Amino acid sequence: MGRGYLALMRPANCIMIGFAVIVGAGIAAGENLLSVDLVRLASGFIVGFSFCAVSMIINDIYDVEIDKANRLDRPLVTGQATISGAYKLSVLLGIAGLLSSLITGLITLIVASFSIAVGVYYNAKGKKLGMPGNIMVAYNIGIPILYGALIVERLTWTIMIYWLMVFLTGLGREIVKDIADMEGDKIKGVKSIPITRGERYSSIIAVSMYITAILLSPMPILLGNINDYGYGIPVLITDSLLIYSIKLILKNPDRVHALKHKKIVLTAMMSGLVGFLLGSL
């Protein structure tokens, strides 16, 4: 039974999000990271881990009927976990995350509270709303960087630009992902942009997000106080991959190319994150 609840949490994903908060702290603190209180870093990891786990659990609760048809291995379908038990676990994890966020102050508590509310609402209702749901996902993709900066109390314009680039790229990727998911989304009643406005229109909206992110990428160098080469080389790779993905999806805004596109953009985002971190050293 315990394994079922652990599987609900998807611990690998949760560890990744917890680590992303530490990376955000590293980006913000730069050379001063080693002097940051370990309790603050630990609290940030716990917040990222627990809130990701809550989101994963709530997602399985609301998708249980769909999983009965498509994912027979999921714990709520196999009986390895119960819905009531899943709710209780999500509440405990949510409380743990909120208490951990309070360790670093009122601002982190407010941001953490808002972020978990966004995650829960998305899984409950937001995923069917189309663009508003995409915005919720994009917000949560970028929030570890912003939250990491808050726990080390160093929120700068450069960090805000990093977050905005991640947000815009994540938003574009979610819109293209909806192209790949059209058949399933029609059955679920999702009002995604590809369903309501078509694949071509969706690709143009996504591309506008990528172009804005690319145009923002030189700003941290112009603002100064970063390692130009450490930042510039990985971000140049990111921009190149985004330009390639733009050409790909504009030429063929269909399911096959959307699936290929989202993998390329994920690689671009990882390269950008490396650039953010190296630029701070």
Task: Report the CATH number that the domain containing residue 195 is assigned in CATH.
Answer: 1.20.120.1780
Element (DSSP H or E) covering residue 241:
helix 228-251
Alpha-carbon distance of 190 to 208, in angstroms, equals 23
Task: Based on the fold, state whether residues 42 and 121 are members of the same structural domain.
Answer: yes
Please report, in tens digits, the pLDDT of each residue of the chain (281 residues total): 578 888 888 888 888 888 889 888 888 888 777 788 899 999 999 999 999 899 889 988 887 876 676 667 788 888 888 889 999 999 999 999 999 999 999 999 999 999 999 988 998 888 888 899 999 989 988 899 899 999 988 888 888 999 999 999 999 999 998 888 887 777 778 888 999 999 999 999 999 999 999 999 999 999 887 888 899 999 999 999 999 999 999 988 888 888 888 889 989 988 998 898 888 87
Task: Based on the fold, state whether residues 44 and 8 are members of the same structural domain.
Answer: yes
- DSSP labels for 100-114? HHHHT-HHHHHHHHH
Task: Based on the fold, state whether residues 118 and 190 are members of the same structural domain.
Answer: no
Side-chain half-sphere of 83: how many Cα atoms within 13 Å? 8
Alpha-carbon distance of 114 to 112, in angstroms, equals 5
pTM of this structure: 0.85
Task: Based on the fold, state whether residues 134 and 50 are members of the same structural domain.
Answer: yes
Considering only CA atoms, which of 4, 6, 7 is closest in space to residue 81? 4
Task: Based on the fold, state whether residues 4 and 61 are members of the same structural domain.
Answer: yes
pLDDT for the residue 164? 93
Task: Based on the fold, state whether residues 57 and 37 are members of the same structural domain.
Answer: yes
Considering only CA atoms, which of 214, 199, 213, 211 is closest in space to residue 249? 199
Phi-psi region of 74 (alpha: psi -120 to 50; beta: other; left: phi over 0): beta
**Biggest CA pair distance of the chain:** 56
Torsion of CA 26, 32, 38, 40, to 10 degrees: -70
Q: Which domain holds residue 75?
A: 1-155
Residue 243 burial class via C-beta count within 10 angstroms: exposed 0-12, middle 13-18, buried 19 and up: middle
Task: Based on the fold, state whether residues 213 and 122 are members of the same structural domain.
Answer: no
Task: Based on the fold, state whether residues 151 and 177 are members of the same structural domain.
Answer: no
pLDDT for the residue 218? 94
- Find out whether 62 and 123 touch, Cβ atoms under 8 Å: yes
Of 105, 132, 155, the one marking the end of a domain is 155
The total of other beta-carbon atoms located within 10 Å of residue 220's CB is 25
Tally the domains of the chain: 2
Of 125, 155, 185, the one marking the end of a domain is 155
Considering only CA atoms, which of 259, 269, 266 is closest in space to residue 234? 269
Of 155, 188, 213, the one marking the end of a domain is 155
Task: Based on the fold, state whether residues 206 and 103 are members of the same structural domain.
Answer: no
Task: Based on the fold, state whether residues 160 and 280 are members of the same structural domain.
Answer: yes
The total of other beta-carbon atoms located within 10 Å of residue 65's CB is 9
Considering only CA atoms, which of 164, 165, 191 is closest in space to residue 178? 191
Task: Based on the fold, state whether residues 259 and 227 are members of the same structural domain.
Answer: yes
Which residues 6+ apart lie within 8 Å of 109 measured at CB?
A: 98, 101, 102
Phi-psi region of 10 (alpha: psi -120 to 50; beta: other; left: phi over 0): left
DSSP-based three-state secondary structure for 220 = helix
pLDDT for the residue 71? 67
Task: Based on the fold, state whether residues 244 and 150 are members of the same structural domain.
Answer: no
Which residues 6+ apart lie within 8 Å of 140 measured at CB?
A: 55, 115, 118, 119, 122
